[in-house]
Structure 1
Amino acid sequence: MSVRKVPVVLSLLATLALLFGGWFIYQKTAIEEPIRTEVNQMTSAKLADLLVDKERIALNLTITKPDQFASEYARLLAAIKPISAGKQVEIHLTNQDPELKQIWSNGIFDITEAMDLHQYSRIPAILNKWKDANHLDLAASSMDDTNVYVYLQRGSKQYYTVLPRLSQQGNEVTIRD
């Protein structure tokens, strides 16, 4: 019995096209579009970029209303979790001006210390010192159950970051009086 090469190759190509085409359509309709819809419902941020691969989902967000972002961030994470199908979700913020990032880097020790010691009420005072010392137009923070949100602004330059309140390593520092 001789095997005809053309039908075998065509069958293989059709099978591969169906397999990868189905995966591509699934990824677009079941993962990307619902995430885009969730982000588009936010009034405080816009989607700059979305990347979905086998192991992770990466979103790049541009914060448009910093004072409202903290309240919408937790809802966004909760909405994405069931869509992600166990993939790691990474949210990156594009409001990262290099000058303001340098100010952040120079003063991060004070913020880290306040967070590690669970003295979150010190953070606004630290930011006010930064504001005065670095001639910032705005240095603001807010907090929810899981994160601390910090926003710096000078003119049209912005820096926004989200800091998890609980250490990922489980190590805690406490004050003993």
Structure 2
Amino acid sequence: MTTTAIVHEELEGVFGDEKTRQVESADFPKLKYLEMCIKEALRLYPIVPFFTRAVLKDFKLDENSIIPKGAIVAFNAYSANRDPDNFPEPEEYRPERFSLENTLNRHPYAYIPFSAGSRNCIGQKFAMGEMKTILANIFRNFQVQSRDTPDKVKPLAELILRSKNGIWMKFNPH
């Protein structure tokens, strides 16, 4: 079964034929596969592809290296999300990577689309709810197909990650 078919089946299980019923926060936990799809998309294309942090105290990296207090450290989330040790065949889109059984043994900082620790995004639950709401409404009403193949999508890392040339989509009523 295709990813799209699984999403449509899940949405039908939650909403039935009611295409106009509002998505409510009580629906969010039922949209498990849609959430896995969102997480996999954010793994491949994180909204914020890199960020920096100031080191608060000397940090011993290994036997020979210390990162001194006050240093600015840059973290490349775009590349980290493609680490084959954490995500085998990292260029493949596989929402199942985010099933409960596949995340249990993964390091908690292997996937951080909203940063992590004390400086993580305070709006991440709100953002996930917004994405679920918007995508559930779109997929309940349309069959969506990308007109571009992944090799045509040219990521451009600015403050946020976006496609340099946009992404052409086709929407057919569902």
Please tell me the TM-score bracket, short chain as reference: under 0.3
> By percentage of residues, which structure has more helix?
1
**Quick one: higher RCO (CA 8 Å, sep 6+), 1 or 2?**
2
> By percentage of residues, which structure has more strand?
1
Bigger Rg, which one: 1
What is the TM-score with the length of structure 2 in the denominator? 0.23
